[in-house]
Amino acid sequence: MAIAIMLIRVIKLLGLLFVAGNTQAASFSVKPTRIFFKDVHQTVLTVGNAGDKEVFIQTELMTWAQQEGKDVYTSSRDVLVSPPMFKVPAGGEQTVRIRFLGDKSTKVERTYRLFLQEVPQQSKSDQATISATLKMGVPIFIQPEKSDSAQFDWRVMHSAEGATVQVSNTTNSHIQFTALKLSAQSGEVLSDEKVFVYVLPGQIYRWNVKLKKPLPKGKLLLQANSDRDEIKVEIEADFVAVP
Protein backbone atom coordinates (compact mmCIF):
# COMPACT_ATOMS: atom_id res chain seq x y z
CA MET A 1 0.00 0.00 0.00
CA ALA A 2 1.16 2.86 -1.00
CA ILE A 3 1.65 6.10 1.40
CA ALA A 4 1.61 9.88 0.99
CA ILE A 5 5.26 11.13 0.31
CA MET A 6 6.55 14.72 -0.02
CA LEU A 7 10.03 15.50 -1.37
CA ILE A 8 11.53 18.74 -0.06
CA ARG A 9 14.65 20.24 -1.57
CA VAL A 10 16.77 22.29 0.79
CA ILE A 11 19.47 24.36 -0.93
CA LYS A 12 22.49 25.31 1.13
CA LEU A 13 24.99 27.77 -0.26
CA LEU A 14 28.24 26.91 1.47
CA GLY A 15 30.63 28.37 -1.09
CA LEU A 16 30.70 30.90 -3.90
CA LEU A 17 27.67 31.40 -6.14
CA PHE A 18 27.69 29.50 -9.45
CA VAL A 19 30.18 26.97 -8.08
CA ALA A 20 29.31 23.49 -9.22
CA GLY A 21 28.00 21.58 -6.19
CA ASN A 22 27.41 18.07 -4.99
CA THR A 23 24.04 16.39 -4.57
CA GLN A 24 23.48 14.42 -1.40
CA ALA A 25 20.42 12.21 -1.08
CA ALA A 26 19.35 9.75 1.57
CA SER A 27 16.35 7.47 1.76
CA PHE A 28 14.34 5.70 4.42
CA SER A 29 11.31 3.46 4.54
CA VAL A 30 8.67 2.61 7.13
CA LYS A 31 6.64 -0.50 7.89
CA PRO A 32 3.81 -0.86 8.35
CA THR A 33 2.65 1.97 6.11
CA ARG A 34 -0.62 2.39 8.05
CA ILE A 35 -1.41 1.94 11.73
CA PHE A 36 -4.74 0.75 13.16
CA PHE A 37 -5.75 0.84 16.82
CA LYS A 38 -8.82 -1.02 18.02
CA ASP A 39 -8.14 -3.82 20.48
CA VAL A 40 -4.61 -2.68 21.43
CA HIS A 41 -3.11 0.57 22.70
CA GLN A 42 0.37 0.25 21.24
CA THR A 43 2.39 -1.03 18.31
CA VAL A 44 5.79 -0.52 16.71
CA LEU A 45 7.00 1.12 13.53
CA THR A 46 10.23 0.01 11.84
CA VAL A 47 12.21 2.69 10.04
CA GLY A 48 14.84 1.39 7.61
CA ASN A 49 17.68 3.23 5.90
CA ALA A 50 18.56 1.75 2.50
CA GLY A 51 21.02 4.53 1.73
CA ASP A 52 24.77 4.66 2.18
CA LYS A 53 24.71 7.54 4.70
CA GLU A 54 23.30 7.90 8.20
CA VAL A 55 19.97 9.74 8.38
CA PHE A 56 18.60 11.84 11.23
CA ILE A 57 14.80 11.75 11.51
CA GLN A 58 12.39 13.77 13.61
CA THR A 59 8.70 12.95 14.09
CA GLU A 60 5.58 15.05 14.46
CA LEU A 61 2.07 13.85 15.28
CA MET A 62 -0.88 15.70 13.77
CA THR A 63 -4.64 15.32 14.02
CA TRP A 64 -5.91 14.65 10.48
CA ALA A 65 -9.19 16.14 9.31
CA GLN A 66 -10.61 17.18 5.94
CA GLN A 67 -12.43 20.28 4.77
CA GLU A 68 -13.80 20.82 1.26
CA GLY A 69 -11.72 17.95 -0.09
CA LYS A 70 -8.44 19.15 1.43
CA ASP A 71 -6.45 17.67 4.31
CA VAL A 72 -6.23 19.78 7.46
CA TYR A 73 -3.61 19.09 10.14
CA THR A 74 -3.29 20.32 13.74
CA SER A 75 -0.74 19.40 16.39
CA SER A 76 -1.75 16.64 18.80
CA ARG A 77 -0.42 14.75 21.83
CA ASP A 78 -2.93 11.91 21.64
CA VAL A 79 -0.25 9.47 20.48
CA LEU A 80 3.13 8.95 22.17
CA VAL A 81 6.06 8.38 19.81
CA SER A 82 9.30 7.02 21.30
CA PRO A 83 11.91 8.03 20.43
CA PRO A 84 10.63 11.27 18.83
CA MET A 85 14.02 11.91 17.16
CA PHE A 86 16.63 9.34 16.16
CA LYS A 87 19.44 8.43 13.80
CA VAL A 88 19.37 5.42 11.49
CA PRO A 89 22.75 4.16 10.30
CA ALA A 90 23.34 3.29 6.66
CA GLY A 91 21.77 -0.09 5.96
CA GLY A 92 20.26 -0.17 9.46
CA GLU A 93 16.87 0.00 11.17
CA GLN A 94 15.26 1.79 14.10
CA THR A 95 12.24 0.57 16.06
CA VAL A 96 9.80 3.32 17.03
CA ARG A 97 7.15 2.63 19.66
CA ILE A 98 3.69 4.06 19.02
CA ARG A 99 1.18 4.28 21.89
CA PHE A 100 -2.32 5.76 21.77
CA LEU A 101 -2.99 7.69 24.98
CA GLY A 102 -6.69 8.45 24.49
CA ASP A 103 -9.90 6.50 24.95
CA LYS A 104 -10.26 3.90 22.18
CA SER A 105 -14.04 3.65 22.57
CA THR A 106 -15.42 5.79 19.75
CA LYS A 107 -18.41 5.60 17.41
CA VAL A 108 -16.66 7.50 14.61
CA GLU A 109 -13.14 6.72 13.48
CA ARG A 110 -10.47 9.16 14.69
CA THR A 111 -7.61 9.91 12.31
CA TYR A 112 -4.03 11.12 12.70
CA ARG A 113 -0.84 11.27 10.67
CA LEU A 114 2.63 10.64 12.01
CA PHE A 115 5.09 12.65 9.93
CA LEU A 116 8.69 11.48 9.73
CA GLN A 117 11.01 14.17 8.40
CA GLU A 118 14.62 13.67 7.45
CA VAL A 119 16.75 16.47 8.89
CA PRO A 120 19.51 17.68 6.50
CA GLN A 121 22.99 17.07 7.85
CA GLN A 122 25.57 19.85 7.84
CA SER A 123 27.96 19.32 4.96
CA LYS A 124 31.68 19.63 5.60
CA SER A 125 32.34 20.41 1.96
CA ASP A 126 33.23 23.92 0.88
CA GLN A 127 31.16 23.47 -2.26
CA ALA A 128 27.49 24.31 -2.69
CA THR A 129 25.43 21.30 -1.68
CA ILE A 130 21.88 20.33 -2.63
CA SER A 131 20.32 17.98 -0.09
CA ALA A 132 17.16 16.09 -1.08
CA THR A 133 15.23 15.28 2.09
CA LEU A 134 12.29 12.95 2.49
CA LYS A 135 9.10 13.42 4.48
CA MET A 136 6.53 10.67 5.03
CA GLY A 137 3.10 10.80 6.61
CA VAL A 138 1.93 7.52 8.14
CA PRO A 139 -1.87 7.37 8.66
CA ILE A 140 -3.07 6.32 12.12
CA PHE A 141 -6.67 5.16 12.50
CA ILE A 142 -8.49 4.76 15.83
CA GLN A 143 -11.21 2.42 14.63
CA PRO A 144 -14.80 2.61 15.87
CA GLU A 145 -16.32 -0.11 18.02
CA LYS A 146 -18.46 -1.13 15.04
CA SER A 147 -17.82 -0.06 11.44
CA ASP A 148 -20.68 0.81 9.11
CA SER A 149 -21.10 -1.17 5.90
CA ALA A 150 -19.48 0.40 2.84
CA GLN A 151 -22.36 2.49 1.51
CA PHE A 152 -21.55 5.77 -0.25
CA ASP A 153 -23.50 8.42 -2.15
CA TRP A 154 -22.24 9.01 -5.69
CA ARG A 155 -22.92 11.71 -8.29
CA VAL A 156 -21.62 12.19 -11.84
CA MET A 157 -21.99 15.72 -13.19
CA HIS A 158 -21.27 17.23 -16.57
CA SER A 159 -18.45 19.80 -16.54
CA ALA A 160 -16.48 21.86 -19.03
CA GLU A 161 -13.48 19.50 -18.64
CA GLY A 162 -15.62 16.38 -19.11
CA ALA A 163 -17.21 15.15 -15.91
CA THR A 164 -17.04 15.59 -12.16
CA VAL A 165 -17.43 12.50 -9.99
CA GLN A 166 -18.47 13.14 -6.39
CA VAL A 167 -18.53 10.71 -3.48
CA SER A 168 -20.00 11.34 -0.03
CA ASN A 169 -18.68 9.14 2.76
CA THR A 170 -21.68 8.80 5.06
CA THR A 171 -20.09 5.95 7.05
CA ASN A 172 -18.17 6.14 10.32
CA SER A 173 -14.81 5.02 8.82
CA HIS A 174 -12.44 6.25 6.14
CA ILE A 175 -12.16 4.84 2.64
CA GLN A 176 -9.11 4.95 0.38
CA PHE A 177 -9.65 4.91 -3.38
CA THR A 178 -6.96 3.60 -5.73
CA ALA A 179 -8.79 3.45 -9.08
CA LEU A 180 -11.84 5.03 -10.69
CA LYS A 181 -13.53 3.84 -13.90
CA LEU A 182 -16.55 5.24 -15.72
CA SER A 183 -18.30 3.36 -18.52
CA ALA A 184 -21.32 3.91 -20.76
CA GLN A 185 -24.29 1.56 -20.61
CA SER A 186 -22.95 -0.10 -23.78
CA GLY A 187 -19.77 -1.05 -21.91
CA GLU A 188 -17.58 1.53 -23.65
CA VAL A 189 -14.99 2.90 -21.22
CA LEU A 190 -15.25 6.69 -20.86
CA SER A 191 -12.52 7.15 -18.25
CA ASP A 192 -10.14 4.86 -16.34
CA GLU A 193 -7.80 6.51 -13.84
CA LYS A 194 -5.45 5.53 -11.05
CA VAL A 195 -6.08 7.64 -7.97
CA PHE A 196 -4.74 7.87 -4.42
CA VAL A 197 -7.39 9.50 -2.27
CA TYR A 198 -8.56 9.12 1.31
CA VAL A 199 -12.10 10.26 2.15
CA LEU A 200 -12.61 10.52 5.89
CA PRO A 201 -15.95 9.93 7.67
CA GLY A 202 -18.62 12.50 6.84
CA GLN A 203 -16.57 14.06 4.03
CA ILE A 204 -17.16 14.74 0.33
CA TYR A 205 -14.57 14.42 -2.43
CA ARG A 206 -14.70 15.34 -6.11
CA TRP A 207 -12.64 14.18 -9.08
CA ASN A 208 -12.45 16.18 -12.30
CA VAL A 209 -12.42 13.43 -14.90
CA LYS A 210 -11.25 13.74 -18.51
CA LEU A 211 -13.46 11.71 -20.82
CA LYS A 212 -12.52 9.85 -23.99
CA LYS A 213 -15.82 11.00 -25.52
CA PRO A 214 -18.70 13.26 -24.41
CA LEU A 215 -20.76 12.16 -21.44
CA PRO A 216 -23.80 10.28 -22.77
CA LYS A 217 -27.31 10.50 -21.41
CA GLY A 218 -28.72 7.49 -19.65
CA LYS A 219 -27.23 5.22 -17.04
CA LEU A 220 -23.49 4.90 -16.46
CA LEU A 221 -21.47 2.23 -14.67
CA LEU A 222 -19.07 3.57 -12.05
CA GLN A 223 -16.40 1.23 -10.68
CA ALA A 224 -13.93 2.06 -7.93
CA ASN A 225 -11.19 0.09 -6.19
CA SER A 226 -10.78 0.82 -2.49
CA ASP A 227 -9.32 -0.56 0.73
CA ARG A 228 -12.79 -1.69 1.79
CA ASP A 229 -14.60 -3.18 -1.19
CA GLU A 230 -14.68 -3.09 -4.95
CA ILE A 231 -17.51 -0.71 -5.76
CA LYS A 232 -19.89 -0.98 -8.73
CA VAL A 233 -22.70 1.53 -9.04
CA GLU A 234 -25.20 2.27 -11.79
CA ILE A 235 -25.79 6.00 -11.91
CA GLU A 236 -27.33 8.60 -14.17
CA ALA A 237 -25.33 11.74 -14.95
CA ASP A 238 -26.58 15.20 -13.97
CA PHE A 239 -26.36 17.62 -16.86
CA VAL A 240 -26.25 20.67 -14.62
CA ALA A 241 -23.48 23.09 -13.76
CA VAL A 242 -21.16 21.83 -11.03
CA PRO A 243 -21.78 23.95 -7.91
CATH assignment of the domain containing 179: 2.60.40.10
Q: Taken in order 229, 72, 67, 99, is the CA torsion positive or negative?
A: positive
Q: Which domain holds residue 98?
A: 4-142
Count of domains for the chain: 2
pLDDT reading at 5 higher than 80:
no
pLDDT over 80 at 222, yes or no:
yes
* Rg of the chain in Å (alpha carbons): 22
168 and 132 together in one domain: no
180-191 confidence digits (pLDDT tens): 999 998 899 999
Query: pLDDT at position 158, please?
Result: 85
The CA distance from 26 to 50, in Å, is 8
End position of a domain, from candidates 121, 142, 163: 142
Domain boundary residue, one of 123, 142, 161: 142
pLDDT digits (tens, 9 = 90+) for 110-162: 999 999 999 987 665 545 555 567 899 999 999 998 888 878 999 999 887 78
Looking at the fold, whether 64 and 176 belong to one and the same domain comes out as no
Residues 50-74 pLDDT 10s: 988 999 999 999 999 999 999 999 9
Domain for residue 162, yes or no? Answer: yes
In a domain, 243, yes or no: no
Together in a domain, 209 and 168 = yes
Strands (E), 145-228: 152-159, 162-169, 175-184, 189-199, 204-209, 219-226
Q: Is the domain of 44 the same as that of 84?
A: yes
Q: Do 63 and 15 have their domain in common?
A: yes
In a domain, 94, yes or no: yes
Rounded to two decimals, the pTM is 0.82
Q: What pLDDT does residue 7 have? A: 35
Average pLDDT for residues 76-91, to the nearest whole number?
96
